[in-house]
Amino acid sequence: MTLEYTIQLATQKAITALYKTDLPLEQIVLQETRKEFEGQITLVTFPVVRFSKKSPEQTGLEIGEYLKNQVQEIVNFNVIKGFLNLSINDTYWIDQLQKNILKPDYGQFAPNGKKVMVEYSSPNTNKPLHLGHVRNNLLGYAVAEILTAYGYEVIKVNLINDRGIHICKSMLAWQLFGNDETPESSRLKGDHLVGKYYVIFDKAYKKQIEELQASGQTEEEAKKNAPLIRQAQDLLLRWEAGDKEVITLWKRMNSWVYTGFEETYKKLGVDFEKYYYESNTYLLGKDIIEEGLAKDVFFKKSDGSVWIDLTADGLDEKLVLRADGTSVYITQDLGTAQLKYNDFQMNQSIYVVGNEQDYHFKVLFLILKKLGKTWANGLYHLSYGMVDLPSGKMKSREGTVVDADDLIEEMIATACKRTEELGKIDGFSEKEKRELYRVIGLGALKYFLLKVEPKKRLMFDPNESIDFQGNTGPFIQYTYARINSILTKAKHTQQDGTNYSSSLTIVERDLLVALTKYPTIIETAAKEHSPAHVANYIFELAKLYNKFYHEEPILKVEDLPIRQFRLQLSAATAYIIKKGMHLLGILVPNKM
């Protein structure tokens, strides 16, 4: 039983004893005490005033006196307007350190018997991964890790979009202009090579459009009649018909891209248990259309196309099958959703996709519910905002996209420059330096993208992200390295704990209180699918430790029990920083 729950129960009894009223536990609101007031836990008294018939202050005083007498952990209280601030005795916090926080499974919830799928990345095989994909991958991976810590069995899935007209554009450009260029001959990563031809296609296509417009065609006519787009459409038809030559080329170029993607995933530190490919799933869903027609969920129009009317749900009519019997995206997604459920029977399925697809997922989930798919209640779209750069929005067709691999290299180079400027790498071998720059650079990138709530659009500034002060990954990493250095100098081990019984200083207590919040942070982050809760908690913890470090001597303190306690507190802080950063996919160096 947590202390908060104990206080809730005692408050419930207090209200019954004092005001002859039974108040449900959910109406007894506890929150963290504001920093400017004394105390650690605050009870909001406003909901009780209607029963006490007294002012919020008087009500707080009466309940506070009752709680102080009934709950041994409460040593004092104060009332500020309608807020009863409770001070908890030091013994409680010290016990939390020695009995809970330093345990290997601290913050790891027991298995809950539920299975959740997290689908993320979902790249197209006509171009490399870019900055937007980086946010997607880091967000999906971190959410999966946090849900695992919260007790779920998690399946990480990647649905690769490896077919369609955009893929054929790259294929056609390579056929026309490639001179049999390969990743080996060009010394380019496979995804970069294919992306190069996607850009070449777009430039040549635009030139043809301009020429046709100059000859008298409208822009719309020119876009449809340009020879390149017609050739690409023909290539797609041949692919769908199973043309051996086209399929062979498609497989060859896709294999280049898959190899390139895997290199980038490895750099980012993300992984997947299962890959789905659009080329295998694009025909799925037609059986679901027949099922929907039989259930009168869908209806046919006179041209033979199949639709669903969602106007009563505040949406519109949605096409689910073309008149010629071919699928649209929603058809495929209906079939793929059923396939994934058949494969894993998960309780929840989370789609990590940008917010430009909000409407699509509303429609998809609603259709599945109307079809009577009970598992559709567990579907969730983790919608996230786009990533901008100081230089403006990214456009992949024009070749101005911020490539993920280039970005990673830039982050590592910037980390190298900043670290060397600080001059804190004396005694590092060249190999150690390279690894440190990689850890700092990637840590800066990941932390900057994950500390912001997923739904928010963000401006990513590489230079701002690599700062050893402020709310950044390198600041947290440096704090961890600092603690590790202290523990190494002291030759501290986990077995060096002591039955500490002295009173705590304010900063010691604040740090201990913060450490006890880690499991609650994991729970909140898991329920809200937001790694930002973990990121910002770890930053606040690092800030608190640095305050403690500057205000309280650790290695120089002469009183042995105090020294051992402060080392133990330092070890616990380092442990939680490392665990929390691990959930975000961020490494922490032992020295820097």
Q: What is the pLDDT, as a whole number, of residue 397?
A: 43
Q: Six-digit token pair at 547?
A: 């305050």
Does residue 73 lie within any of the structural domains? Answer: yes
Residues making up the chain, counted from first to last: 592
Report if residue 116 sits inside a domain: no
Q: Is residue 425 part of a domain?
A: yes
Euclidean distance between CA atoms 545 and 484, whole angstroms: 12
Structure tokens at 221: 């006519």
- How confident is the model at residue 396, as a pLDDT? 41
Tens of pLDDT, residue by residue over 227-241, are: 999 999 999 999 999
Segment 168-182 shows an average pLDDT of 97
In this structure, are residues 257 and 194 in contact, taking their beta carbons and an 8 Å threshold? yes
Q: Residue 137 domain-assigned?
A: no
**Domain boundary residue, one of 49, 70, 88:** 88
Distance CA 543, CA 170 (A): 49
Q: Are residues 571 and 462 in the same domain?
A: yes
The count of domains in the chain is 3
pLDDT at position 544 over 80: yes
- pLDDT on residue 495: 59
Residue 388 within any structural domain of the chain: no
Q: What is the Cα–Cα distance from 592 to 479, expressed in whole angstroms? A: 10
Q: In angstroms, rounded to a whole number, what is the distance separating the alpha carbons of residues 538 and 573?
A: 9
- The answer to whether residue 286 sits within a structural domain is no
Based on the fold, state whether residues 179 and 59 are members of the same structural domain. no
Phi, psi (rounded to 5 degrees) for 277:
-125, 135
Q: What pLDDT was estimated at residue 526? A: 98
User: What DSSP assignment string belongs to 402-443?
Assistant: -BHHHHHHHHHHHHHHHHHHHT--TT--HHHHHHHHHHHHHH
CA distances from 533 to 405, 450, 522 (A): 27, 9, 8
Write down the pLDDT at residue 186: 96
Residue 400: per-residue pLDDT = 54
Mean pLDDT (the chain, rounded) = 93
Q: Identify whether 126 is part of a domain.
A: no
Residue-range definition of the domain harbouring residue 58:
3-88
Q: With bands split at pLDDT 50, 70 and 90, how would you rate the model's confidence at 282?
A: confident
CA angle 353, 357, 360 (to 5 degrees): 120
Residue 391 has what pLDDT?
Answer: 67
Do 425 and 555 fall within a single domain? yes
Q: What CATH number corresponds to the domain at position 65?
A: 3.30.1360.70
Both tokens assigned to 70: 């009934």
DSSP calls for 164-189: SHHHHHHHHHHHHH-TT--HHHHT--
Q: In what order do the strands lie in the sheet with 306-309?
A: 299-300, 306-309, 317-321
Q: Among the three residues 248, 269, 290, which one is the final residue of a domain in this structure?
A: 269
Average pLDDT over residues 422-433: 86
Q: Say yes or no: 487 and 574 in one domain.
A: yes
CATH (domain of 415) = 1.10.730.10
Quickly state the pLDDT bin for 399 (edges 50, 70, 90): very low
- In this prediction, residues 515-522 reach a mean pLDDT of 96
Which residues, in sequence order, are bridge partners of residue 83? 44, 80
CA distance 348 to 465: 34
pLDDT digits (tens, 9 = 90+) for 36-61: 999 999 999 999 999 999 999 999 99
pTM: 0.92
Residue 286 above 70 pLDDT?
yes
Tell which of 88, 107, 133 closes a domain: 88
DSSP state letters, 101-155: ITSTTTT-PPP-S-EEEEE----BTTS--BHHHHHHHHHHHHHHHHHHHTT-EEE
Does residue 171 register a pLDDT over 80?
yes
Helices (H), 269-403: 278-281, 286-294, 329-344, 358-370
445 vs 326, higher pLDDT: 445
> Mean per-residue pLDDT for 312-340?
93
Whether the per-residue pLDDT at 215 is higher than 50: the answer is yes
Same domain, 75 and 169: no
Does pLDDT of 497 surpass 70? no
Determine the 3-state secondary structure of 494 from DSSP.
helix
Helices 532-551 & 430-450 angle (0-180, nearest 10): 120
Counting Cβ atoms within 10 Å, is residue 68 exposed (0-12), middle (13-18) or buried (19+)?
middle
Please indicate, yes or no, if residue 264 is contained in any of the structural domains.
Answer: yes
Confidence of residue 494 (pLDDT cuts 50, 70, 90): low
419 lies in the same domain as 533: yes
* pLDDT tens sequence across 458-469: 988 888 888 888
